[in-house]
Structure formats: C-alpha cells, structure tokens
A and B are shown apart, each in its own frame.
Chain A
Amino acid sequence: MSTLEQNQISKAALTAEGALFARYLRGKPASQTALERYEAGCEALFAEPPSPEDEAISRFLERHPWTLPWLDAATALLLPQALLRKKLLLLLAILETLPENAQWCEPHPSHRALVLARLCLWGATSALKAAGGAVLLPFALRTRFVGSASGS
C-alpha cells in the first residue's frame, strides 16, 4: 500500500472517530469545520505512535462504538492520561471555540435546588458508567494481546 493510500485511510479513520466523538459530546453530528480542526489537532498533538494500551482501546472502540461512554468513564478514573480522554478533550476544546456553540457553553441560571439535583443525577450516572466501564476496560485492553498473537 502506498504512503498516499495509507494517509487517506488514516484521515478517513480520524474523520470517523471525530464524528463519533462529536455525537457523544454534543449529541449531534459535527460540522465539517470541527472535523477538519480535529484532524489538524490530532496531527499536531498526537504525532507519536500510540501506546499499546491506547491502540487497544482505539481498536476496541472501532469495533464497538457503543462502549464509548463506558470506556470514557472508566479511563477518567483509571487511566486519566489515556489517549481516548485526550482526544475527547481536544474535540471539546474545538467545539467550545465554534461560534455556533457559544450558547451551549453558557451556564443556564436556575434554582439552586434544581442545579444540585442535576449534579446528583450526573454524578450517579457517571458512577454507573464508570462501574460498567471498569468491567469493559480489561476486555478492551486485551484486544492488543489478541492482536499481537494474530500478528497484526
């Protein structure tokens, strides 16, 4: 496979990854601008080859995109320096600096009790996701051994 073809494949993979992450973060598809910036950001910040753990998580996510919320929650607690988390934060930064998202980033004043109730709800769902993710994470990390054993 030529370098050009390899580049096109990795570009397509990054675009797909960015689209998945944007739907997860924003709840709707990303704009073309956001995806282009995500690609540029990944090239600027994550030029080094990923660690075996990061590679494994990435491959697992490609095959099972529905596990993203669970793996995000688990890595936040157990692997805070994981590439997955860094990439999510990069895309969040990009989304935050798009004018169309300015309103989305603004706090919405409301009654203190309501705010506290929302915080409790988000905290509880985060804890549940982290628990589920902690079960999934070893499977995701095992992908690298399976991958290595099959010579890929």
Chain B
Amino acid sequence: MTIETDAIVVGSGASATSAAFPLVRAGLTVRMLDVGNVDARYSRLIPDAPFSEIRASDSAQHRYFLGDEFEGVPFGHLRVGAQLTPPRRHITQDTDTLTPVAADNFSGMESLALGGLGAGWGAVAVQFDAKDLEGYPIGQADLAPHYASVSARIGISGERDDLLRFYGDCASLQPPLDLDANAQLLLESYARKKHDMNRRGIHLGRARLAVLSKDLGERRAQQYRDMDFYSDSERSVFRPAFAVDELRGHAKFRYESPYLVERFRELDGGVEVDALHVASGRVERLRARRLVLAAGTLGSARIVLRSLDRYDTPLPLVANPYTYVPCLSLGRVGKAAPERRHSLTQVGVIYEPPADRDGPFPRVHAQAYSYRSLLLFKLVKEAPLPVPSAFRIMRELVNAFVILGIHHEDRPSAGKRCVLRRAGPGERDRLEVTYHETPEVEARQARAEKGLLRGFRNLGCWPLKRIRPGNGASIHYGGTLPMCREERELSATPEGRLRGTRSVFVADGSLLPHLPAKALTLTLMANAERVGSILARDLTGGAA
C-alpha cells in the first residue's frame, strides 16, 4: 500500500501548529484537518482606531461590542467564556452540535475555530520550571530547545525581573510592553515593600506575553489601542491562525477544512481517519503514515475513545481551578487613566505560601488586569445596587479597578474524569465530564487565596469580592491521555505515541499528567513541537 501523506495533523490550535512546524521543516508532506470556523461578520467592521475614539465616533460599534443578536450581553451566572466578545464567539461555534459535552458542574469549552482556543488566548506565555515538571516523564532539558524555538517564532515580550526564575528566560525575549497606570502603581508599591512581600512568598513582575513590543516579520508591534479583546488587526498578539498562514507557505503543507476528524484505524504502515466534511455531511477516508492528534484535551480524548471503542471508559481530567477578584487600587481612585494601553494582563504574580500546620502549599499563579474595554454594563450587572447608582459608582471607580485572576494547580483524582457515551439515533457521541475536588484541597486553595489577597491589601489593592466562576472556567484542561513511563492503557509514551498504537501520536494538553498553576499554553506549544520533532526524525529515518 502506498501512502502519500506523511502526517495528518488534527486541529489548528497552538499545539497542532507547533507540532506541524518540525514536520514541514523536515520536508514531510503534512495535511492539517480542521473545521476552521472564522469570524466572517464582525472583524471587518472594527476600525483600526483606539477604543475611546471608536466609542465617540463609530455608529456601528454596537454590532461588535454587543453583537447583532446581542450575544455579547450575558445574563445569568458567570460561566466559562464570559469575556468572549462577539468577534470571538466563532471560537465556540458549532461545538454544541458537533462535539457535545455533558456536565452538571463543569464548563468544558472546546473550539472548532481556525486557531482553536488560541484564537482567544490571553497570551500569557511562561515556561514550566523543574518544580512545575515534577511527576512528568520529561524534564526541563527536554523542553528547553523547544521553549527557545517557539518563543522566537511567536515573539514574547517581558522583563528579566523578580519573576525570571519562575518564568524562565529566552534569548529572543523582546522588551516589555508599556505598563498602564494601575500596574505601574502596583509595581512601585511592590518595589517599596519587596522584602516583606517576598517573606510572605509573594513575587511580582511584568507580565510575560506572546505580544510583540517590536515588529516581527509581517506582524506589527502592539499599538496600545485597548481593542485586544475584539480585534487582531496589527497582529501583535500571537494567534495560531498566523502560524497556519506561515505553514501554508511550505509547498508540502495543506490546510483542509471544514473537516471534523471522528476516528482513526491503524493499517499496515500507516493510519486511516474518518473525517466528516462538515459542509456536505459526507465522511471521507484519508490516509497517512502517522496521525498527530491535537484537537484539544477533550477533542483528542473523544477521538481516541471512539476509535478504540472504549465507550463508557473513564479517562482522568485536570483543569486549573480559577478565581477572579476585583480589587480597588486606592491610590488610583479619582485619577485619570492614560488613553494608550493594551487590554491584556499587566502584572504577573507568583505566590508560594509558607507551609502551615497542614504542610506546604502548592504554588499559585495570578495575573493582574485593568478594566475598560469590556464596557461598564458588565460590571454594573455584578453590583447588587439600582442600575443608575451602580453605573455611576463603576464609572467613578473603573480606572482604579485591578482584576486579579488566580490559578491553582490541579492533579488527577477519582472525582475528576470524562467518559464518552455512545450516541442514540440521530445524535452525536457525548463526552460526559464529572469534576469534584476534595473539600480539603478546596479549603487549601481558599486559604492560599486569602494569604495572597492579604498581601495585595498591603500593596494598596483592596479585594472587593472573590468570584469562582465554576469548574473548567480557566479553559486550561489536560491529563486525559497522560504521558508516563509505565505501560498503562489509554496513556502516551514520553515521546507522545498513544500506547497500543504504532502510528498515532498525541500533541496537546491531553499529554500533561497534571497542571501546575502557571499558564500552560507556551508549554503546550513547546511540548507539541518536541513531539513533532521526534516524529519528524522517525519519519525521515533520523535525518531531521
């Protein structure tokens, strides 16, 4: 049997594109299969202008701020994706029908968009250190060359400050982005009280972001228009869709959509996939020497369970618990805010609480944001006050709000799992997610949060309310097909090969056995590139 395609890569997100690069660079023939939804409605309406100019002049602004169907006006309790603005809504388009997830207490967000969940990435790009990688079958030395290569490719800006030893270094690091006024005050206060803060285990520094402070190729440096939640016009914030564009420049690479890969079966010398052509409804069979699954933690789990006919078999699942805390920066009350700013995180925080009588605390990672371009009515909605009073109060205080997003680590346990249930007639298989953390772990997380917030109060940032938007709200998922050294079914080798198969590799969050508190996307990309490199060497007989 002759198979002309060397590798099929499933998905087009941060992991998929990172796995594809070493393959195409090795001269291999790669087909990327993706549903590839894009925003065809709003992005073309958004002017290349600063937020306040748009607010004062664009009579069509309601379309992209609120949505033509008012989908940007969220009601009800906060859930995952509350900050997905109308121009980002395509990220979750069609997932309810094509990749249904059933869960009572877990919001599992998947994406069938070009660029996957990366199309809405907050762009925090930090490395895992030795402590984060404890329990992984790979170490820092395995990831280091790939962190360097991915960082140079996507462009990362930041400072070599107090967080350097936590975030790692890279030779290509661009200068940090300009700070906004809230962040500047926070970091000044930290500098004055650094000794006390470090004694408490609190370390602050400039955000490390996949956002350009200098031009890189055809992408422009950040323009500080505060429209980053709506528009990618200057391409300063990295999106995996840009990597797809770059990959398309290689003659042996083909991006094919709208295909939803449903299952695979191994053949002699290769693998065959069933891919649903979403527009026509027909299923096509495509063959390659190797298959790389990078459809996202939940998506890849679904494909594997269906292909191996392991319906009703539980897989582990981890997801960083997430809390966000609106804080008031007292020193900024009544002050004006400079117009020039970006919308993404400004300050990074690592908290390593001192051990207490119950033992050591896991590390906590937090990010501080300012608030403006998501509009006031979303803040008003959260206040138990009459609407006009809440509006006046929020308007008065908005320049002094610091939103602290706190992530905790997550480790697998019996209460956290996902199971594929077979579809009834006319339905699609449903991924059922159960997520129950033990009360002891939740209590430890709450105590760690209190310690961190005490420190923030000391920095002049007063926490107003702790909000837990629910399990899964971090949109950081992993651990469904964990890489490990021991022979275990439904797991992967440290090289990313799915155990029990010869030709199927996994290259996304499924591989990470547990999730440290730090943002995971840069590690997903570095690890995917590592898997892609191993595969390239395998397919070229070691020449790549």
Tell me the nearest residue of chain A to B75, going by C-beta. A86
| A122–B62 touching, CB < 8 Å | no
Q: Which residues of B contact A115 (CB under 8 A)?
A: 333-334, 396-397
**B-contact bits for A94-122, CB 8 A (1 contact / 0 none):** 10111100110111111110111011001
> How many chain B residues touch A (Cβ–Cβ < 8 Å)?
41
Give every chain A residue within 8 A of B70 (Cβ-Cβ).
40-41, 44-45, 90, 93
Query: Which of A93, A102, A115, A116 has the most chain B CB atoms closer than 10 A to its own CB?
Result: A93
Alpha-carbon distance between A118 and B333 when the two chains are bound, in angstroms: 12
**Which of A12-20, A56-64, A76-84, A138-146 lies at the interface?**
A76-84
- Decide yes or no whether B102 CB sits under 8 A from chain A: no
Q: Quick check: is B335 within 8 A (CB to CB) of the other chain?
A: yes
Q: Which chain B residues numbered 255 to 291 have a C-beta less than 8 Å away from chain A?
A: none
A30 contacts the other chain (CB 8 A): no
CA distance A94 to B393 in the complex (A): 19
Query: Is the CB–CB distance between A97 and B73 below 8 Å?
Result: no
In the complex formed, the residue of B with least CB distance to A40 is B70
Query: What residues on A are CB-neighbors of B398 within 8 Å?
Result: 107
Interface segment out of the listed B226-234, B239-247, B376-384, B495-503: B376-384
Given the known interface contacts A99-B61, A126-B385, the answer about A106 and B377 at a Cβ–Cβ threshold of 8 Å is: no
A40 to B68, CA, bound (A): 9
Which B residues lie within 8 Å of A35 (CB)?
none
Min C-beta distance of B446 to chain A, whole Å: 24
Q: How many Å lie between the Cα of A113 and that of B248 in the bound state? A: 59
Complex contacts, B76 vs chain A, CB 8 Å: 81
**Chain B 496-529 near chain A by CB (<8 Å), digits 1 or 0:** 0000000000000000000000000000000000
A73 and B385 within 8 A (CB): yes
**With a CB–CB cut-off of 8 A, which chain B residues contact A111?**
334
> Nearest Cβ distance between residue A59 and chain B, in whole angstroms?
20
**Residue from A44, A72, A105 whose CB has the most chain B CB atoms within 10 Å:** A105
Cα(A118)–Cα(B76), bound, Å = 30
Q: Render B369-380 as a binary contact track against A, CB cut-off 8 A, 1 for contact.
A: 000000111001
**Contact: B66 with A45, CB < 8 Å?**
no
* A118–B334 CA distance with the chains assembled, in angstroms: 11
Contact A72-B391, Cβ < 8 Å, known A94-B62, A97-B375: no
Q: In the docked arrangement, what's the CA distance between A104 and B219, Å?
A: 36
CA distance A138 to B299 in the complex (A): 50
- Do residues B62 and A37 form an inter-chain contact, with CB atoms below 8 A? yes
B428 at the A interface (CB under 8 A): no
Which B residues lie within 8 Å of A90 (CB)? 70, 73
Interface residues of A in 13-71 (CB under 8 A from B): 24-25, 37, 40-41, 44-45, 69
Tell me whether B190 is interfacial, beta carbon within 8 Å.
no
Residues of A within 8 A of B69 (CB): 44
Please tell me if the beta carbons of B377 and A96 are within 8 angstroms of each other in the complex.
yes
User: Which chain A residue shows the least CB distance to B56?
Assistant: A102
**Neighbouring B residues of A73 by C-beta, 8 Å:** 385-386, 389
Pick the residue among B55, B333, B385 that contacts A105 (CB under 8 A).
B55
Measured in the bound complex, the distance between the Cα atoms of B390 and A76 in whole Å is 10
- Of residues 19 through 73 on chain B, the ones whose CB sits less than 8 Å from some CB of chain A are 52, 55-59, 61-62, 65-66, 69-70, 73
* Interface residues in A118-152 (C-beta closer than 8 Å to B): 118-119, 122-123, 125-126, 129-130
Across-interface contacts of B376 in A (CB, < 8 A): 92, 96, 105
A106 and B395 contact, CB distance less than 8 A: yes
Instruction: Report yes or no: A76 in contact with B384, Cβ–Cβ below 8 A.
Output: yes
* A69 to B175 alpha-carbon distance, docked (Å): 51
Q: Which residues of A contact B335 (CB under 8 A)?
A: 109
A89 interface residue, CB < 8 Å from B?
A: yes
Closest chain B CB from A91 CB (angstroms): 9
- Complex CA distance for A130 and B390, rounded to whole angstroms: 13
Q: Give bound CA distance, A44 to B399, whole Å.
A: 32
User: Do A122 and B392 form a contact, CB below 8 Å, given A69-B386, A102-B56, A109-B336?
Assistant: yes
- The minimal Cβ–Cβ distance linking B86 to chain A, given in whole angstroms, is 11
- Confirm or deny: B424 has a beta carbon within 8 angstroms of a beta carbon on chain A: no
Q: Is the pair A118, B396 in contact by a Cβ cutoff of 8 Å? A: yes
Residues on A with beta carbons closer than 8 Å to the beta carbon of B396: 107-108, 115, 118-119
For the complex, what is the distance from the CA of A129 to the CA of B385, rounded to whole Å? 9
Check B385 against A97 for contact (C-beta < 8 Å): no
Q: Are B386 and A76 in contact (CB under 8 A)?
A: yes
Does B388 interact with chain A (Cβ within 8 Å)? yes
The distance in angstroms between the C-alpha atoms of A76 and B391, with both chains bound, is 13
Residues of A within 8 A of B57 (CB): 99
**What residues of chain A lie closer than 8 Å to B399, measured between beta carbons?**
107, 109
CB distance from B372 to the nearest CB of A (A): 10
Q: Which residues of A contact B65 (CB under 8 A)?
A: 97
Other-chain contact of A99, B56, B75, B381, B387 (Cβ < 8 Å): B56
Which residues of chain B from 396 to 420 have a CB within 8 Å of any chain A CB?
A: 396-399
Measured between C-beta atoms, what is the minimum distance from A64 to chain B in Å? Answer: 16
Do residues A25 and B61 form an inter-chain contact, with CB atoms below 8 A?
A: no
**List of B residues within 8 angstroms of A45 by Cβ:** 70, 73, 75
**A-facing residues in B288-341 (Cβ within 8 Å):** 333-337
Which partner residue on chain B sits nearest A115 by CB separation? B334
Q: How far is the CA of A99 from the CA of B59 in the complex (A)?
A: 6
Contact sample, A vs B, 23 pairs, CB 8 Å cutoff? A25-B388, A41-B66, A41-B70, A72-B388, A73-B385, A76-B386, A85-B387, A88-B387, A90-B73, A93-B66, A93-B375, A93-B377, A97-B62, A98-B62, A99-B61, A102-B52, A102-B56, A107-B397, A109-B334, A114-B334, A115-B334, A116-B333, A126-B386
Query: What is the interface of chain A, defined by CB distance below 8 A to chain B?
Result: 24-25, 37, 40-41, 44-45, 69, 72-73, 76-77, 80-81, 85-86, 88-90, 92-94, 96-99, 102-103, 105-112, 114-116, 118-119, 122-123, 125-126, 129-130
Beyond contacts A80-B384, A123-B389: 7 other A-B pairs, Cβ-Cβ < 8 A, are A25-B387, A73-B389, A76-B386, A93-B377, A102-B52, A109-B334, A119-B396
Closest 3 pairs (CB-CB, A-B)? A97-B62, A102-B56, A109-B336
